Amino acid sequence: MATRTKPARTAAPTQSRNGWITFAGTYLVIAGALNLIWGVTALAQKEYFREDGLIFSNMQFWGWIALIVAAVQIIGGALIFMRKAGGMILGLVLGGCGVLFNFLSIGAYPIWSCIAIGCSLLVLWAVTVHWEEDL
């Protein structure tokens, strides 16, 4: 009578993909993409916006600010995907900056700004509530 041995089980991956941290990284990249599109459009096609709805300055100023915020948000999202503590801190700061930027420019394009504010608030929530789950 032959005996069968069970095949050895492979160990589970040591670093699991936490859903909320991935969610935060994804939404930070989405918020960065929205701000990137907003900035490029503000610089190239100013007639799509209501420039008199801005609190101060002009569309060119806000376009450049949007591009800078977008670039840093996308980098922050990548750092969150890599599970870096600096990425989590950057996610907090950039989520707040995204909300502030879109709130100040809400008069130029209200619907777009409200969607971007929602993305930034979701990032803030996911990063603060689920900070230590998977670092």
Q: What is the pLDDT along the chain (135 residues), one digit of tens a residue?
A: 566 666 655 554 445 457 888 888 888 898 889 889 988 988 898 777 777 777 677 888 888 988 998 999 899 989 988 888 888 888 888 888 888 888 887 887 788 889 888 888 888 888 888 666 555
Q: Report the alpha-carbon distance of residue 38 to residue 41 in Å, rounded.
A: 5
Q: Report the alpha-carbon distance of residue 6 to residue 8 in Å, rounded.
A: 6
The helix, strand and coil proportions of the chain, stated in percent and rounded to the nearest 5, come to: 70, 0, 30
Q: Report the alpha-carbon distance of residue 135 to residue 128 in Å, rounded.
A: 13
Residue 18: its pLDDT value, please?
Answer: 72
Give me 11's structure tokens: 């160990």
Q: Report the alpha-carbon distance of residue 68 to residue 93 in Å, rounded.
A: 14
Give me 120's structure tokens: 């930034």
Residue 5: its pLDDT value, please?
Answer: 67
Q: Hey, what domains does the chain have and what are their CATH numbers? A: 19-129 (1.20.1270)
Give me 106's structure tokens: 């809400």
Give me 130's structure tokens: 């689920």
Q: Report the alpha-carbon distance of residue 32 to residue 59 in Å, rounded.
A: 18
